Chain A
Amino acid sequence: MTGLIVVGVIAVILVFVLVSAYNRLISLKGQTQNAWKQIDVQLKRRHDLIPNLINSVKGAMEFERETMEAVISARNSAVKVAATATPETASQLAAAEGTLTTALNRFMAVVEAYPDLKATGNISQLQEELSSTENKVAFARQAYNDTATVYNVTQQQFPTVLMAGMAGAAPAQLWEITEEADRAVPTVNLSFH
């Protein structure tokens, strides 16, 4: 009788542990997906901002056509990759966005070289928006990486590792920073102080 009770208690505890492990995985999965969506939102903001920026400097920068076109084509290919991106293909999107960042940085450096252009209020507002958007992308990426790391580690830990299959948990790819230019994004200061 006592043995039966002990076995029963152990079984109840076991079920409880497994259920909470499963729930934890599902919750982390949701958080990771949500964090991924946040990157998406910010990337879209960035992609929408670029045509505005190009339009407002187009007239004054006719002779820098090449730099502008590099930004536009990098932007368009990034939009295309972003449309179908999932956490499993994070590295492709990271590469496309890295190219865009490099092109944008070159472009902004050129803008800096034209004092007349900088003087107009519209440009400085757009620049603040752009640098803020760069920051937002970086922070969204940071939040995603943090969440994904917790998710990945939890999948390998005991007892959650037992439930990984049932919860359909697969390791999420981290958004690695590959290029030096990309690494510098959060510290780029475009304001006119």
Chain B
Amino acid sequence: MATFTDLQEKNRRKTRVIVVCFVLFFIWLGAGLDLARYYWSGGNTRFLQHYYGLFFRSHPQVTTGAGPVHNQKHFQPIFTLLVGFAGVGLAWWSLSNASENVLTAMCARRASKNNSPEEQMLINVVEEMCIAASMRPPKVWIIPDPDPNALAVGLEEGDYHVAVTEGLLRALNRDELQGVIGHELAHLKNQDTRLMTALTVLVGLAALISEFVSRNRYCSVDVRGGNDDDNKMGALIFGLWFFTVLLAPLATQLMAMLVSREREYLADASSAQFTRNPEALASALDKISSAVAPTALVKPASAHLCIASPTASDLSYDCESDWFATHPPIKSRIHRLNTIGANWKAKAAREAASAG
């Protein structure tokens, strides 16, 4: 039992570190610019006016003509607040979007026990896994797609949804279905859906800022007057800031995918905890990965919600070092699951030996 608890704790710590890095990065995006302004504000601010005239028009040194303004320094965290508010606003907007929209976009329909024996089994399996996971049952949906795949959406308890494709119901046996449903419920229980939505927003925001800055590159730095050291300091900070902004989209994308892959491993481990049958999930992953066709009805934007990446290229069996993949290679997931199973068996054998 210690094996998966350890794994969960390790993954949670990693995710926390990554999220903190994300937050720090965004603070830097805002604060770097504010710092540069602070050092430059002793001198001529024409450059900044030129660069971001929109925000600097109301700068006190520009509007108040009276008195020597050179020595007045104001640290105004305009950009820190701006980037912060933009981030919070975007996050709020995307988090408040109804999760049922995602499912209706995939032509999903609600599953019912009376429709067919397979759907009766599916609903029962979901209820069983909910008991194992100590959570309330989510709504269950069927996606009319012949490719085996499954996904979870929802941001808070009461609004949780699990959807599976018709192909999945056909391809898997009861034990394997339990493993897959356990994986999806783990995503919900570990609040992965929420985290991934937030990360998607951050990635989008970084791309937006970078675009904005690089499109406005036409002006030159024109700093006159003021303290020389301050000017240098300002230039240094601004250069550093500019560099980070240009790299931001790439870096955030890489980090988001890193988090996503960690969450997949965690969901696999949690599923093993719920079912006590890691081999069944491993065999389900094997079946899902051997499906050649991509899941057509799942949009790329929802890829991180699925049990296996819905795009065909990511299904290739051993792409060990694909940094931009939302999911770890299936081979390594199966390997980890089998390792958990083997550890449990070894432990049980040791206990049986010491008892008998």
Binding site for B on A (CB under 8 A): 34-35, 38, 42, 124-125, 128-129, 132, 135-136, 139-140, 142-143, 146, 189, 191, 193
Is there an interface contact between B132 and A128, defined as CB atoms closer than 8 Å? no
Task: State whether A38 touches B124 (Cβ < 8 A).
Answer: no
Interface size on B, residues (CB 8 A): 17
| A129 x B124 contact (CB < 8 A) | yes
Known contacts A35-B134, A189-B174, A191-B174; A128 and B117 CB within 8 A of each other: yes
Contact A139 B128 (CB under 8 A): yes
Q: Check B276 for interface membership: any CB of A closer than 8 A.
A: yes
Residues of the B chain whose Cβ atoms lie less than 8 Å from the Cβ of A146: 1
Q: Which of A35, A135, A140, A193 neighbours the largest number of chain B CB atoms within 10 Å of its CB?
A: A135
CA distance A142 to B130 in the complex (A): 12
Q: How many A-B pairs fall under 8 Å by CB?
A: 41
Tell me the minimal C-beta distance from A1 to chain B in angstroms.
38
A-B contact sample (4 more), CB < 8 A, given A129-B124, A135-B128, A136-B128: A35-B134, A125-B117, A142-B132, A189-B174
Interface of B is mostly: helix
Closest Cβ–Cβ distance, residue A44 to chain B (whole Å): 13
Q: In whole angstroms, what is the CA distance A38 to B131 when docked?
A: 8
Name which residue of chain A comes closest to B134, CB basis: A143
Minimum CB distance partner of A39 in chain B: B131
A125 near B120 with CB under 8 A, answer: yes
Bound-state Cα–Cα, A128 to B1, Å: 30
- Closest-CB distance, B178 to chain A (whole angstroms): 8
Establish whether residues B127 and A132, one from each chain, have CB atoms under 8 Å apart when the complex forms. yes
B129 at the interface (CB under 8 A from A): yes
CB pair A142 B124 closer than 8 Å: no
Which chain B residues have a beta carbon within 8 Å of chain A's beta carbons? 1, 117, 120-121, 124-125, 127-129, 131-134, 173-174, 274, 276
- Please, how many angstroms separate the alpha-carbon atoms of A189 and B173 in the complex? 11
Please give me the 6 A-B residue pairs with the lowest Cβ-Cβ distance, nearest first.
A132-B124, A139-B132, A139-B131, A135-B128, A140-B131, A136-B128
Q: Across the two chains, which residue of chain A brings its CB closest to B130?
A: A139
A132–B181 alpha-carbon span in the complex (Å): 14
Distance in angstroms between the alpha carbons of A42 and B274 in the assembled complex: 17
Task: Name 8 interchain pairs, CB-CB below 8 A, sorted by A.
Answer: A124-B117, A129-B124, A136-B127, A139-B129, A139-B274, A143-B132, A189-B174, A193-B173
Chain B residues whose CB sits within 8 angstroms of the CB of A35 once the complex forms: 134
Chain B residue, CB-CB nearest to A132? B124
A132 touches which one: B1, B128, B132, B134 (CB < 8 A)? B128
Q: Is the CB of A128 within 8 A of B131?
A: no
Bound together, the chains give a CA A42 to CA B121 distance in angstroms of 17
List of B residues within 8 angstroms of A132 by Cβ: 121, 124-125, 127-128
Q: How far is the CB of B141 from chain A (nearest CB, A)?
A: 19
Q: Name the CB-closest residue of B to A35.
A: B134
Give the complex CA separation of A73 and B67 in angstroms.
99
Bound complex: CA A140 to CA B1 (Å): 17
Q: Across the interface, which residues of A come within 8 angstroms of B134, CB to CB? A: 34-35, 38, 143
Residues of chain A contacted by B124 (CB below 8 angstroms):
128-129, 132, 135
Bound CA–CA A35/B133 (angstroms) = 11
Most chain A beta-carbon neighbours within 10 Å: one of B1, B131, B134: B131
Q: How far is the CB of B110 from chain A (nearest CB, A)?
A: 19
The distance from the CB of A131 to the nearest CB of chain B, in whole angstroms, is 8
Residues on A with C-beta less than 8 A from B1 are: 146
Distance to closest chain A CB from B301 (angstroms)? 34
Nearest to A42 among chain B residues (CB) is B131
Min distance, Cβ B37 to any Cβ of chain A, angstroms:
42
* Closest Cβ–Cβ distance, residue A183 to chain B (whole Å): 12
CA distance A135 to B117 in the complex (A): 17
Closest to B124 in A: A132
B132 / chain A contacts, CB cutoff of 8 Å: 139, 142-143
- Which residues of A lie under 8 Å from residue B129 when comparing CB positions? 139
Q: How far is the CA of A139 from the CA of B129 in the complex (A)?
A: 8
Nearest-CB residue, chain A, relative to B129: A139
Interchain CB contact under 8 A, A128 and B120:
yes
User: B125 — which chain A residues lie within 8 A by C-beta?
Assistant: 132
Q: Report the minimal beta-carbon distance from B295 to chain A, rounded to whole angstroms.
A: 26
The CA-CA distance from A143 to B131 in the complex, in Å, is 7
